[in-house]
Structures are given as structure tokens and as C-alpha cells.
Amino acid sequence: MRRLALFCLWWSVLRADAQVLRTTAGEPAQLSIRRAGVHGVRITLKPVSYTPDYPFCPALVDSPKEPPVLVIGAGGPAAEPGAAKTPGASRSCRIGDLTVTVRPSPLTVTITRKDGSLVQRLTFGDSVRFVLDGAPLLGLGEGGPLTQRGVDWRTEPIEFDRSGRLDVMQPRWQSGAYGSRNPVPLLIGTKGWAIFVASPWVQVDLRSKGAGVFIPRKADTARQNEKNQGQALSKGLPPADATIDGLFDCIVFDAKKPAAFMKDVSTLSGPAVLPPLWALGYMQSHRTLQDETQMIAIVDSFRVKKIPIDAVIYLGTGFTPRGWNTSQPSFDFNPEVFHRDPAQVLRDLHDRHVRVVLHIVPYDRDKLPWLHGSIPARPGEDLNAPGGGPDLGHIQNYWALHIPLMQSGADAFWPDEGDWFDLYERIARHRLYYEGPLSTYPNLRPWSLHRNGYLGIARYGGFVWSGDTESSWKTLEGQVSVGLNYSLSLSPYWGSDIGGFYSNPDKTGELYARWFQFGTFCPSFRSHGRTWMTSLPWGWGLPDRGVVEDKNSVLPTSMNNPLIEPVTRLYDELRYRLLPYTYTLAWEARTQGMPLMRALWLQYPADTVARGLGSEYLWGRDLLIAPVFEKGATQRHLYLPRGQWYDWWTNDITTGGCWIDRPVTLSVMPIFVRAGAIIPLDTIRQYTGEHVTTPMTLKIYPGADGDFTLYQDDGISEAYLKGVSTHIRITWNDKTRVLTLRTTGIERPQRFRVEVVAAGKVVEIAYGGGTRTLKL
């Protein structure tokens, strides 16, 4: 009996020891479970020697801190009061409407809903496994597959659904169909779940049908990568949590209701700030410049041709033979271009009602060792470099170099390159171009355009474009998917080079027109590319292609096409007419977390066809956009989700839930409007600030009840952050044919032209606020 008792005691000790939680690196660990947003659970597995409650993640707003609901694991410095010293049996807790169950061997965390249905199950070992359910997988930031040697991207199918491959999550510049890669480990399962890995940096293996795997990057590999890239650690950095072996911190979301999930992501990563209204207008990029006379003449051509434009962008010297500055990186105006005072030239451009955006590249690592800090510098932040002089890695010192440019009239910046920046620096750079301009002109909204980004940049207002892509039909097709996955997992503000960057035989007037149509329904609406005269809306009607910057490029030869300019003008005018709708979408991005470009899954999650489609999308809730990306197309095969849909161009009605073939001409890109939509349409303006006297049109698409809240503010100041804005809720009762307008916020007199589509009913009203009803 005594031997049996001793054996039982030995066996119980052995079992207890076996059940001690281990990190993914095999060390004794502690597991904490806490709320994240309204529909999320944050799961942190950390070595007991790691003292913070959870690791710092630059993507997440670190306040307010949610206390843990459940703590399991070994004691030690990291143990919170009441933490269990050993895991013991399985334990459960409730977090909102979710139940979290932890089983110790192997360590498994299961999240279920009220009805018992599974959200996700994570199983921890040397990697972390999670459940795949066969539905399409979206997100993972910007870009497509990593370019591999021997693989011709032109013949590969376009990737929207991320299933079926190993994503090594390597940020890098590349061209092809997808452009630059800005990976974010935010993976979305369209059956109703999502996972964001806050730490460490992982690879995402989606090659198995039943289970996905997050493979943590080991500390020694991370440090070696930093060494190889010249990224030495310096003072002022947050903890390097991404290089702590065994640490795994993630958020699991219930995404059954996609809008609620997007709101949680916005809350946790910081709500998007509003761009200035002009940044949603058309922007024209310039490359090789002659002089300021040419710069002004191009703007005058826009005005004479009545092609709306709000901003001109000038590339820097070195990236083009002759740009706005002396050779990059430089903050000095180029005397070969500016024969007069640059400040006067910029005033002349402002007098023509365009903003001026200047292209900037970062210093090399020897001068800009590591971007960090805030503007203004917080107490304790040292602005001095170790060897004396200002620390140019601190964003306040680096911003000081930009101030003379803003004082000369520069309105915004295009910070290019930075592909070598780590996650901290990518976000710090967006912060630089948000806090910097505000420190110089406190009541003017900043704007900047970047090639690099990460989840969290929306709170600093930066836009990202997809980099230097090929001018090809395949690229145009790929950019649709890129923009949608970016919008789901990185930020609401994205765009591409209209027409593509690198010239090749595909670069024709037809391709440019089709890309321009797509760009009309992207947050960033900007033409840019080599052989840059062909990036002008009228460029394809010129007798030649203009300056040749790269003699090795295959250049376009088919010029003198008079059909392209009218098409670009038509869609440019449509962009400006839709600005009240689009600006409201920007407000929804801030308040609801919903992007402007919306994958069909966001509005139709139960539609098994819609949720896997990356070749078409929604612009807001009510407009369905089907870009044309086939050369010589005469029809577009597209899917309409359930409900009634109006053809934008003809007002014909089609019942959805099916595929259709919509005939197209060069001037027609299919656009459909959901029955019940209320679409505000402005008068055509040549720039966003132009004063007009004609009323705004409210187009009512009957067939279902409608609800739309029109958002208005001054479009340029920071006053909206204090609530200085107008919200007009417009509702349509389809049965009674009654339209109701109700204002909250600032009331102001305005006129509306109300049109019931396809009914021949048009009423013009004066509206000064309060509640107003119309029988239509």
C-alpha cells in the first residue's frame, strides 16, 4: 500500500509538472485572456520572466488597458494577483457575448458564441494552429504573392482569397500585378472570424484545408535580419517585443457581423482621421520638368479643358532626370526648374486653385538611423544625437527640414521609399507627416502619400499607393483585389498609379481609360507613371509620347487617340459629383471603421458567391463597381447580390442573386445602385472649393426603404474633431413615398433637388435644418 501511495504521489507531481504552461519556445509561461473591443478576445502567452501585462504593439492604441478576465500559468514576476500557479483542469470565462475555454494539454483556447457555434480554436505548440473552415480567407495587408524566380505573373491567376499558400509576410518593393508588399498579420475568415497577431512577426501557412498555422519568427532570425538591414537598436525605441522567443499575443474577433468587426479594428488601432476634402479630388503627378512655365501651363490646360483637378504632384530629381528639387534626398528647390522665386511660383499655382504636393525620400541610414519620437517631443525625449547635433532620427528634428517648404507654399508631401523601415518606423513616418504639418499650421488637416504602411496608420491620416506597377491589363485586374484586401486589414485609404508605372506594349489609351475609370472609385485618385505625358487625361491625344526617361523601356507608340480625353473628363466629373457621397464614406471610415472600397463580404456575408469575389466591389454600401480589365471588352461578366439593382447609366432594374453580362463601350464601366439607395450628387466643380449656386441633387432609388446620413464640414480644418459639422439624416419610406430630412449638429441653409429615379418626379426645396418631410 505504501508503495502504491508513493507511486500515486509521484504520478500526481509528474502530471502537474507536465501541465505547466509552456511558451512556443518551451519555457514556463503564463496565459492571460482579456477583452479586445466589443467582439474580440486578446490572448497573450508569455514567458514568466516577461513582466509587462502584454507586449507593446505599434499598431494598437495602448489605452485604455483592459484588465485580464482570466490568468492561468506559472507564478513569478509576471503573475497578476489571483493567478493560478498551475493550469489544472480546463477553465472558462465569459467576455461579452463570447465564451472562452482553456484546456491545458495541449494548450488550447476555444472561443464560442452564445449559441455554442465556434468562432475559433487556437492550439499552441512550437507554432500556433487555428481552424480553417473552407470559406475564403481575406486580409493580410497589401500586395499579393511574393514574386518568385521562374514564375510569370502574367499567366498566374489573380489572388484575392489568401487560401492555399504560405505567406512569409515579407515587406518588400516589387512591381508585377500587385505592386509593393505591406503585409499585416490580420487574417479574416469570411464565415465569421478574424485573427490579428500583435506579436511576434509570423509567417502564415494556409496550405492545409483544415488548419492554418502561425509560425513565429525566432529572435535570433529577427536580430540577424535587423543587422543585415542596418537597423541597429537606438535609444527612444519601445520594447523590441517582436524578438522575444516564446511570446505570442493575438486578438481573435467574432466577425459574423463584418461591420461590428471593422468597428472593433478601428477602435483598437485608432479611428481614421479625416483627409482634407481636396485630397479626395483628382491629383496629377508630374515627372521630368522643363520649368515653372510648363508647370503652370499644364494647370491652365486643365482649367481651359474643364477637367477638374485639385492637386499637382512633383517628383524629385534622381527619380526623374529633372524634378522639383536638387538631387534627392534634398529640401532645396531646383534652380534649373524654378527661374523665379519658388514661393511665387507656388502662389501662382494656388491662384489657379490647385494644391502642391512634393515628393520626398528619406536620408540613408547613416543620417537617419531610426525614426522615433513624437511632435512635439514628449518629456524625456532626447533630441540630440550621441555624437552631437540634432538627432535626425527623431521625427521633430527631421520635420524641421520640411518647414521652409511649407512656408514657401507646399501643401503636402509624398514620402516615397522607406522599404527598409521596420513596423515602428513605418508608423512613425506616418506620424511624422501628420503631427509635423499640424505643428506648423495647427488648424489645417495634413495629407501625405506613402509606399509603406501598417495597421494603425489611419489615425495619422496617411494614404498608401501600391507602388511602381507594370502598365498591363493583368495589373489592372490585380489592383482591384489588392485594394480590397488592403482596405480590410490596413487602412481605408489606398490607390494605385492610374495607367500603371512601367511602360510596356499593354500601355495604350484604352488601358489608361479603363484604369482611370477604376481610379475614380479608389480613395486616392491620381495619375502617375513613366512616359508621364501619357498620364495626362489628354495625353493620348497628343502627337507623341513626350519625354523619354528610360530608353530601355518598351514605350507606347499608339498616340493621337481623340477618344480618351472625353472618357477621362466624364469620370473625373463623376468623381466630383459624387464627392458628397464619398466624403460621407470618409466620415463612416472614422466613426464606423468601414472602408470606402468594400469587399462584397462586408455587406453580404451570407452570400457564398459574393464573399469570395475580388473582381468587383462596393463603393460604400450602395454603389457596386465592376472595373473592366480586358482589352477590347464588349461586355462585363459580373455578379449582383440579392435585391434590386439599378444600372447607373440606364436606370434599368435587375433582380440580384445572379450573374449577368453587361454590355460595355469604352466610355462605360458597369456601375449599379442598390434599390433603397439615396445618393447625393453635387454640381460639377472644377475644384472642391469652387463656389457654385446650383442645388445638390438627392437621387432616390425606389424599391426598398432607404437611409443615408449626409456628412458635411468645412473640409479643411481640424474643427470637425470638436464636433463642428452637419449631419443630415435622410430616410425614404418606399411604401408611403415619403422622404424625411432631419439635421443634427450645425444647421445651415441649403437647397436640394430631390429626384425619384425612373419615376419622373423632381422637387426642389430650401432646407435650413430641423425636420422636413416630402411626399413624393
Question: pLDDT tens digits, residue range 410-460?
Answer: 999 999 998 888 888 999 999 999 999 999 999 999 999 999 999 999 999
Question: pLDDT tens digits, residue range 529-554?
Answer: 998 889 999 999 988 777 777 665 66
β-bridge mates for residue 699, sequence order: 679, 755
DSSP codes joined into one string, 596-622: SEE-HHHH-TT-TTGGG--S-EEETTT
Q: What pLDDT score does 18 carry?
A: 39
Does residue 346 have a pLDDT over 60?
A: yes
The pairing of strands 597-598 and 617-619 is: antiparallel
Q: What pLDDT score does 146 carry?
A: 82
Q: What pLDDT score does 229 carry?
A: 36
Does residue 6 have a pLDDT over 60?
A: no
Q: Which of 554, 552, 524, 517 has its CA nearest to residue 671?
A: 517
Q: How far apart are CA 562 and CA 96, in angstroms?
A: 61
Q: How confident is the model at residue 518 (pLDDT cuts 50, 70, 90)?
A: very high
CATH architecture of 693-775: Sandwich (2.60)
DSSP state of 326: S
Q: What pLDDT score does 238 carry?
A: 38
**Backbone angle region of 265, left / alpha / beta, with phi > 0 → left and psi within -120 to 50 → alpha:** alpha
pTM over 0.75: yes
Cα angle: 387, vertex 390, 392; to 5 degrees: 100
Q: How confident is the model at residue 101 (pLDDT cuts 50, 70, 90)?
A: very high
The pairing of strands 166-167 and 202-205 is: antiparallel
The pairing of strands 494-495 and 463-465 is: parallel
Stretch 722-742: mean pLDDT: 97
What stretches of 641-737 adopt beta strand conformation (E)? Answer: 644-647, 653-655, 658-663, 671-674, 678-681, 696-700, 706-712, 726-733
Pick the CATH number of 12-256 from 3.90.1720.10, 3.30.70.270, 1.10.3720.10, 2.60.40.1760: 2.60.40.1760
Does residue 557 have a pLDDT over 80?
A: no
The pairing of strands 449-450 and 463-465 is: parallel
Answer whether 277-587 and 597-674 agree in fold.
no
Q: What pLDDT score does 27 carry?
A: 85
Q: What pLDDT score does 388 carry?
A: 82
CB 284 within 8 A of CB 572: no
Domain map of the chain by residue range?
Answer: 12-256, 277-587, 597-674, 693-775
Question: pLDDT tens digits, residue range 368-394?
Answer: 778 999 999 999 889 998 878 899 999
Number of other CB atoms surrounding residue 312 within 10 Å: 21
Which of residues 768 and 242 earns the better pLDDT score? 768
The pairing of strands 726-733 and 706-712 is: antiparallel
Stretch 228-232: mean pLDDT: 35
CATH node for 277-587: 3.20.20.80
Q: How far apart are CA 222 and CA 422, in angstroms?
A: 11
Q: What pLDDT score does 712 carry?
A: 98
Q: Return the residue matching grid coordinates 479643358.
A: 305
Q: How far is CA 650 from the centre of its chain?
A: 32
User: Over the chain, what is the mean pLDDT?
Assistant: 90
- At 120, the amino acid letter reads Q
Question: pLDDT tens digits, residue range 13-56?
Answer: 223 333 578 887 788 999 999 999 999 999 999 999 888 888 88
Q: How confident is the model at residue 222 (pLDDT cuts 50, 70, 90)?
A: very low
Cell numbers representing residue 543 in the block = 502627337
Does residue 326 have a pLDDT over 80?
A: yes
Question: pLDDT tens digits, residue range 200-217?
Answer: 999 999 999 899 999 998
Stretch 701-711: mean pLDDT: 98
Q: How far apart are CA 237 and CA 233, in angstroms?
A: 8
Does residue 174 have a pLDDT over 90?
A: no
Q: What pLDDT score does 17 carry?
A: 35
Does residue 223 have a pLDDT over 70?
A: no
Stretch 619-624: mean pLDDT: 98
Cell numbers representing residue 317 in the block = 530629381
Q: What pLDDT score does 633 carry?
A: 98
> Homologous superfamily of 597-674 in CATH?
Golgi alpha-mannosidase II (2.60.40.1180)
Which of residues 369 and 179 earns the better pLDDT score? 179
